[in-house]
C-alpha cells in the first residue's frame, strides 16, 4: 500500500491488528482495531485534521485491557469524503460505529473528536458506558489564534457570505499543494503543532498522507477545514447538561494554541452533570501523544471504575 | 434545468417565463418546486423554483450532511444563475431565503416568508424528542440505502435541519441586513427564529393570502429600496 509508511517507525508505535469499513449515512468509514476482540470495547475519535493512526502509541497501552477501535472521521484518513460537512453528520458517524459494534462501549475522544464523542453520548446514551474527553471542549469564542491560519471576521451575514463565496469557487476542485517529501510535510505540520516532535510527525505523515504527482498531500479533504458557515461552540455546549454518561475531562498543563484555556474550559465543563477532571503534567493539547503512558494510566483507571 | 452545486447538482425549474422581475421560490421541508406551480401567476415577472438539496429532482447529499446554510448555498448557486431576484420561501425555505436575503442583500431586493414545515425546533430550547427524531431519520436513510421498495420523497436526513442549534439572534442578524422583509402573518404560532426576524426594523407584516402577499412583495421590491437598518 504505502511502502514508505512501513519504513518510518516510532518508539512505542504499534500498527493496528485489524481493519474494516463501517457504513454510515452512505459513506464508507475506516475503523482500525487493537487488542483482544472479546475484551470490553473502547472507541477512539481523533481530532481535526488528524487520523486514526495518530493513536498508534496510545491505543496499544489501552489494548492491554480493552478491545480498542479507532475511527477515521469522514473526510479524514482512509474514510470517504462527503459532499459537505455538518457537525451532526460527524456525530452520527460515531453513533453508527457504536451501533455496528452491537454492544455498549467506552468513548475516548481528543480535541474535535472529544466534542464528537460527547455529543454521540448525548444521542446514544445506552450505547456509551464511560466517556473521556481530551481537551475537546471547543475553540474559544473568537476561534484559535494560530499563526498562519486564515481568520474570518465580520458580522454573521458577512461570515455566511464568505462561506458561500469560498464554496462557489473552491469546493469542486479543492486540493492541497503537494510537499516534495514526507519530511517536508512533517516539517510544515510542525509549524502548526510545535510541541510534537519531528520524528513523531514523520510517522504521522507517513500514514496520513498519500503520494500524488509532485509529492505528498494529506489524505484529508481540504473542504473539511472550511467549516459549515457561522458557528459558535457556545450554541451547543449547553446541551451537555443532558449528558447521562460520566465524563473524565483531561488536559495538559502547558499552554498550547489548540487547547481551550479558562475561563471558557470551566464554563463549558460546568454544563457536564457527572464530571471528573485530570491534568497531565508536561503536556499541551496532545496529552495522549506527548505523554501516552501517563494519559493511558488515567484513562484505564477511569474506565476500570465502570 | 440542472445546476452544478458544490459537489452535486440541484434542479431549478422555470415556472413562468417572462420579462419582468425575477422571483426565486424555495419550498418547505419535504416539499418541492411543484408546490409553487399555482402561485406563479400572481407574480408580474418570471418565476423559478428550486428543489432544495435532497428534495424533488435534486440530488441527495452524499454523506447525508444537510443544514440551512448548505441549502442556502444551493439557492446561492441559483441566484448566481438568475441574477438579482426576489425570494419567496416557506418553512425551511423561508429560513433559507432569510439567510440569503441577509448574506446577499445587494442581489435580493425583497423577500417574503411563508409558514411551513421545517425548523420549528432547535435553537436554545431543543425539543426533548429531537435526538430520537435524528436517530430515526438516520435509520430511515439506512433503509433507503439498502434499497427499500418505496423511495422517500426527500432524504430523511433533512429532518436534521429541525435540530439546528443556531439561536434566534442568528436569524435576526440576517433580518437586519435584508432590504425588504415581508412575513406572512395569519395569527398562527411561529417558531422562535421567525419571531426574532419579525422584530427587525426592516420587517413588515404581509397578508396570509399568498397571492396578495406576492403582489405586496412585487410592489415593495419595485419601490426605492431602503438600506439595511443601521447597526447599533
Chain B CB within 8 Å of residue A244 CB: no
Identify the helix (H) or strand (E) that includes residue A203.
Answer: helix A198-208
The closest CB to that of A86, out of B67, B141, B177, belongs to B67
pLDDT, tens digit, for every residue of A132-152?
A: 999 999 988 877 766 555 566
A170 has pLDDT over 90: no
pLDDT, tens digit, for every residue of A254-275?
A: 999 888 999 999 999 999 999 9
The closest CB to that of A172, out of B7, B104, B135, belongs to B7
Residues of B in contact with A160 (CB under 8 A): 69, 72, 99, 102-103, 174
Asked whether B58 and B1 are in contact (CB, 8 A), the reply is no
Chain B CB within 8 Å of residue A74 CB: yes
Q: How far is A246 from chain B (nearest CA, A)?
A: 19
Distance between CA A152 and CA B95 in Å, rounded? 23
pLDDT score for B166: 87
Give which of A288, A252, A290, A306 is closest to A61, Cα–Cα: A288
pLDDT score for A210: 95
pLDDT score for B202: 87
User: Which CATH homologous superfamily contains domain B2-222?
Assistant: Alpha/Beta hydrolase fold, catalytic domain (3.40.50.1820)
A226 has pLDDT over 70: yes
pLDDT score for B54: 94
Asked whether A61 and B97 are in contact (CB, 8 A), the reply is no
pLDDT score for B223: 76
The residues of chain B scoring below 70 in pLDDT are: 121-133, 135, 140-151, 224-232
pLDDT score for B124: 55
Q: Which residues contact B80 (CB under 8 A, 6 or more apart)?
A: A168
pLDDT score for B154: 86
Q: Which residues contact A277 (CB under 8 A, 6 or more apart)?
A: A248, A249, A250, A251, A269
Residue whose C-alpha cell is 466517556: A131
Q: How far is A171 from chain B (nearest CA, A)?
A: 6
Question: Do A83 and B104 count as a contact with CB atoms less than 8 A apart?
Answer: no
pLDDT score for B131: 65
pLDDT score for A284: 97
Question: Do B62 and A26 count as a contact with CB atoms less than 8 A apart?
Answer: yes
How far is residue B29 from each of residues A67, A71, A274, B73, measured CA to CA in Å? 42, 32, 37, 16
What domains can you pick out in chain A, each with its CATH number?
3-147+232-304 (3.40.50.1820)
Distance between CA A126 and CA B153 in Å, rounded? 31
A1 has pLDDT over 50: no
Residues of B in contact with A245 (CB under 8 A): none
Distance between CA B142 and CA A32 in Å, rounded? 22
Identify the helix (H) or strand (E) that includes residue A133.
Answer: strand A128-134
Chain A CB within 8 Å of residue B152 CB: no
Asked whether B206 and B183 are in contact (CB, 8 A), the reply is yes
Residue extents of the structural domains in chain B:
2-222
Residues of A in contact with B177 (CB under 8 A): 155, 157
How far is residue B149 from each of residues A1, B135, B143, B144, measured CA to CA in Å? 39, 21, 9, 8
Give the 3-state secondary structure of residue A296.
helix
Residues of B in contact with A92 (CB under 8 A): 64, 134, 138
User: Is B123 or A103 the better-scoring residue by pLDDT?
Assistant: A103
pLDDT score for B209: 93
Residues of B in contact with A163 (CB under 8 A): 69, 73
pLDDT score for A8: 84
For chain A, what is the mean pLDDT? Answer: 92
Identify the helix (H) or strand (E) that includes residue A90.
Answer: helix A87-101
pLDDT score for A140: 85
pLDDT, tens digit, for every residue of B180-198?
A: 999 999 999 999 999 999 9
The closest CB to that of A25, out of B105, B131, B157, belongs to B157
Amino acid at each position: 500500500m504505502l511502502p514508505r509508511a512501513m519504513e518510518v517507525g516510532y518508539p512505542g508505535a504499534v500498527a493496528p491488528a485489524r481493519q474494516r469499513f463501517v457504513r454510515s449515512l452512505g459513506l464508507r468509514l475506516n475503523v482500525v482495531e487493537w487488542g483482544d476482540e472479546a475484551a470490553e470495547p473502547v472507541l477512539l475519535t481523533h481530532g481535526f485534521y488528524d487520523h486514526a493512526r495518530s493513536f498508534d502509541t496510545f491505543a496499544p497501552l489501552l489494548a492491554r485491557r480493552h478491545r480498542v477501535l479507532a475511527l477515521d472521521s469522514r473526510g479524514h484518513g482512509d474514510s470517504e469524503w462527503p459532499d459537505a460537512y455538518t457537525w451532526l453528520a460527524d456525530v452520527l458517524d460515531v453513533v453508527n460505529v457504536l451501533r455496528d459494534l452491537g454492544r455498549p462501549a467506552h468513548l475516548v475522544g481528543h480535541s474535535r473528536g472529544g466534542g464528537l464523542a460527547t455529543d454521540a453520548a448525548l444521542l446514544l446514551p445506552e450505547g456509551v458506558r464511560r466517556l473521556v474527553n481530551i481537551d475537546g471542549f471547543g475553540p474559544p469564542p473568537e476561534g484559535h489564534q494560530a499563526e498562519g491560519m486564515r481568520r474570518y471576521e465580520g458580522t454573521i451575514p458577512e461570515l455566511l457570505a464568505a462561506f458561500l463565496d469560498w464554496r462557489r469557487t473552491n469546493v469542486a476542485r479543492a486540493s492541497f499543494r503537494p510537499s516534495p517529501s514526507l519530511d517536508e510535510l512533517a516539517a510544515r505540520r510542525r509549524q502548526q503543532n510545535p510541541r510534537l516532535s519531528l520524528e513523531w510527525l514523520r510517522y504521522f505523515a507517513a500514514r496520513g498522507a498519500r503520494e500524488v504527482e509532485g509529492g505528498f498531500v494529506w489524505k484529508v479533504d481540504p473542504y473539511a477545514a472550511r467549516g459549515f458557515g457561522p458557528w459558535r461552540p457556545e450554541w451547543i455546549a449547553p446541551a451537555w447538561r443532558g449528558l447521562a454518561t460520566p465524563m473524565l475531562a483531561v488536559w495538559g498543563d502547558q499552554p498550547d494554541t489548540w487547547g481551550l484555556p479558562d475561563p471558557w474550559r470551566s464554563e463549558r465543563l460546568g454544563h457536564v452533570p457527572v464530571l471528573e477532571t485530570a491534568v497531565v503534567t508536561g503536556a499541551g493539547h496532545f496529552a495522549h501523544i506527548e505523554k501516552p503512558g501517563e494519559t493511558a494510566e488515567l484513562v484505564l483507571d477511569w474506565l476500570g471504575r465502570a | 434545468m440542472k445546476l452544478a452545486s458544490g459537489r452535486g447538482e440541484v434542479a431549478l425549474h422555470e415556472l413562468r417565463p417572462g420579462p419582468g422581475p425575477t422571483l426565486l421560490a424555495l419550498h418547505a421541508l419535504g416539499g418541492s418546486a411543484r408546490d409553487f406551480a399555482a402561485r406563479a401567476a400572481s407574480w408580474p415577472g418570471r418565476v423559478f423554483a428550486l428543489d432544495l438539496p435532497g428534495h424533488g429532482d435534486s440530488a441527495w447529499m452524499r454523506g447525508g450532511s444537510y443544514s440551512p446554510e448548505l441549502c442556502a448555498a444551493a439557492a446561492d448557486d441559483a441566484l448566481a444563475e438568475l441574477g438579482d431576484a426576489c425570494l419567496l420561501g416557506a418553512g425551511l425555505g423561508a429560513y433559507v431565503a432569510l439567510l440569503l436575503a441577509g448574506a446577499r442583500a445587494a442581489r435580493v431586493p425583497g423577500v417574503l416568508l411563508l409558514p411551513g414545515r421545517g425548523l420549528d425546533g432547535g435553537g436554545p430550547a431543543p425539543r426533548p424528542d429531537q435526538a430520537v427524531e435524528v436517530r430515526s431519520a438516520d435509520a430511515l436513510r439506512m433503509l433507503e440505502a439498502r434499497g427499500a421498495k418505496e423511495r422517500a420523497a426527500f432524504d430523511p436526513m433533512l429532518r436534521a435541519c429541525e435540530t439546528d442549534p443556531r439561536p434566534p439572534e442568528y436569524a435576526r442578524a440576517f433580518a437586519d441586513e435584508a432590504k425588504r422583509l415581508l412575513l406572512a402573518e395569519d395569527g398562527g404560532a411561529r417558531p422562535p427564529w421567525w419571531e426574532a426576524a419579525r422584530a427587525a426594523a426592516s420587517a413588515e407584516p404581509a397578508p396570509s393570502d399568498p397571492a396578495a402577499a406576492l403582489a405586496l412583495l412585487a410592489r415593495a421590491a419595485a419601490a426605492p429600496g431602503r438600506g439595511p437598518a443601521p447597526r447599533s
